[in-house]
Structure formats: C-alpha cells, structure tokens
Amino acid sequence: MDAHLGALTSFVSRDVHHPGHAKAQAYIKEQLGALAYYGWKIESQRTVYQGIPLENIFATIDVRGVGPDTGPIGPIGNTGWILVSAHYDSIANRTPGWRPSIDPAPGADDNATGTAALLEFARVLSTYRPGAPVESRIVLAFFDGEELFFKGSGAYMSTLQKPYPYKAAINLDMVGFNPITDRLDLLWYTNVSAGLRDRALKVNETFKIGLAPLNAQFAADGNTIMDAAPFGIAGIPSIAFVQRYGENDATFPGNYTFHTVNDTPDKITNKRLWLKAAKLTLAVALDLANEPAQ
C-alpha cells in the first residue's frame, strides 16, 4: 500500500482541475489492467458536474468457491453483489490562496490511503478462492468527485435500477492519521444499514483485527459526506470507515492537514491503523461474499 500511496501523491494533485488528476486515473487503470489475467473486468463511467469531467473506475471480479462434494457453481446472479469503494480525487481548499489548477493537493490521508488499499485488495482478490460452495461478485469502485460532495458516487447510484445489484456498500476514506490510538469511526447510513454495522463490529472482534475503539455512528442523510451516503439513502446497506468524523476527543487529537497542501505522506502517522482499517474493510467484504449462495 505504501508504494501506491507514494505514486498517488507524486502526481502533485488529484484535484479535478489539475493535470495530476488524469495521471492518477492512468495509474489506477494501469495497476488494475496488470491484473486482468485473473478475471478482473475494468470499466469506467464518465459524467460531468458543472462542466467538470469526472470518471469513476470500476474493477469487478467474481468470487467462486467449491465445497468438498460439489463442482463449480453456475453464473453469478444480478443481485447480491458487494461494492467496496474509495475516492481518488483530492483537494486543498483549506489552504489560503490555493489555486486548484496549479497548486498541490497531495491528499495522502484524504484519500490516497483508501485508494491504495483498494489497489491492494485487487491484488489479494486475484488469487482468492473460497473453500466453500459460494458465489458472489465484488466490485471495487474508485470514485471521482467526492470532494465535490460525492458527485461521482451519486452519479453512479443514479444509474442503478431496482432490484439493486448490491447487497452491501463499504467505503474507506481517510484512515492513516492518529498518533494516539487505533480508533476508527464506523458510519452506518439509515436504519437499513444496522445489520451491516453489526457485522463489521463482529468481524473486528472475531478476527481480532484490533481496531479500538471502533465507534459506530448513525448517519441519517447525505449531510454526513462520504461515498457510502448515496447508497444508504437509496436503501442499500452501507457503511463507511474513517479515522474520525466529528469533533476531536481523547482518542483523536485532530487532523489539521487534511484538505491542505500539507496532507503529505509523512502525515500518515499511524500505518498500523491504516493496515487494520484495510483489513477490516476486506474482511467484511469477504464475510459477505462467503455467505452460501441463495
């Protein structure tokens, strides 16, 4: 993940107005394309917001397993998929006088940490084979335009028709800063996500991932700005993992470099937290994927 974070921050900025944004897109596609041999399907969705072109990048793989007395399972259905997402765009609008098209917006914590984790998930899932008769589809979504108030994920959600293909949406955003504890906030969107919230809490305990505290917070609407929001509001169970969403407390001292030119790799002060957050995200996705086929 470190190498991916270094590459993503090397493009100076991933703001939608900056030339580095296109370089980040190319890097993500290159990394995913190198894994196509393993069955990944790479797609893009292009949209426009107020004249600004945005591009969501998707990598889809079918997770299949066989039991001791069964043969291969049939085709994946049109529902029951799992969405795992992170946004790759960045911004530094909290820096006075910042100029989007030319000034840096390295976005190391926000959100190269999440993007790098998704690229690592692609590598891990390439050779993952469950030892049980299960079938599922995992979609890794690299969303654009989150810093414009989740315009990329919102545009994608607007294309989905009922019955929705996804049984769960999991989002990873800003998980590398905390010099005090390995704490993580677990945002769950609307009451439909209570079961997914409980699953994440259980997975953290069962597999001894070690996030503590893992703080569940209810999100009633899109005012809690994360890429999980459009899906939860639409009725898809949705959660987001973030180092802190809210005021500082005894377990979080405050990250004052996010959305500034100083959100640089050296500000990733807790790589242990970053790794644990990534492990929990993937573990929850696989826990969902390993459910017996209906």
Can you give the residue ranges of every domain in the chain?
Answer: 2-289
* φ, ψ dihedrals at 186, nearest 5°: -115, 100
Provide the 8-state DSSP code for 157.
H
Q: Are 187 and 245 in contact (CB under 8 A)?
A: yes
Residue type, 274: W
How are strands ordered across the β-sheet holding 52-64?
Answer: 41-49, 52-64, 135-143, 81-87, 166-172, 238-242, 184-189, 214-219
Cα–Cα dist 71/65, whole Å: 9
Beta strands in the chain (DSSP E): 41-49, 52-64, 81-87, 135-143, 166-172, 184-189, 214-219, 238-242
| Dihedral angle over CA of 80, 86, 89, 94, nearest 10 | 130
Provide the token pair at 135: 């079938």
Class level of CATH domain 2-289? alpha beta
Strands 166-172 and 81-87: parallel
Compute the residue count for the chain: 294
Q: Per-residue pLDDT tens, the chain, 294 aa: give them.
A: 999 999 999 999 999 999 999 999 999 999 999 999 999 999 999 999 999 999 999 999 998 765 554 455 567 889 999 999 999 999 999 999 999 999 999 999 999 999 999 999 999 999 988 766 668 999 999 999 999 999 999 999 999 999 999 999 999 999 999 999 999 999 999 999 999 999 999 999 999 999 999 999 999 988 899 999 999 999 999 999 999 998 999 999 999 999 999 999 999 999 999 999 999 999 999 999 988 655
Please tell me the pTM assigned to this model: 0.96
Nearest to 42 by CA among 50, 33, 51: 33
Looking at residue 66, its pLDDT comes to 55
Q: Are 191 and 244 in contact (CB under 8 A)?
A: no
Strands 135-143 and 81-87: parallel
Cα–Cα dist 231/170, whole Å: 10
- List for the chain the helix, strand, coil content (%; round to 5): 35, 25, 45
Cα–Cα dist 108/114, whole Å: 9
Provide the 8-state DSSP code for 109.
I
Question: Which residues have a Cβ under 8 Å from the Cβ of 72 and sit 6 or more positions away?
Answer: 64, 66
β-strand partners of 216:
186
DSSP 27-48: HHHHHHHTTGGGT-EEEEEEEE
Q: How many CB atoms lie within 10 A of CB 265?
A: 17
Looking at residue 76, its pLDDT comes to 84
Provide the token pair at 154: 């919102």
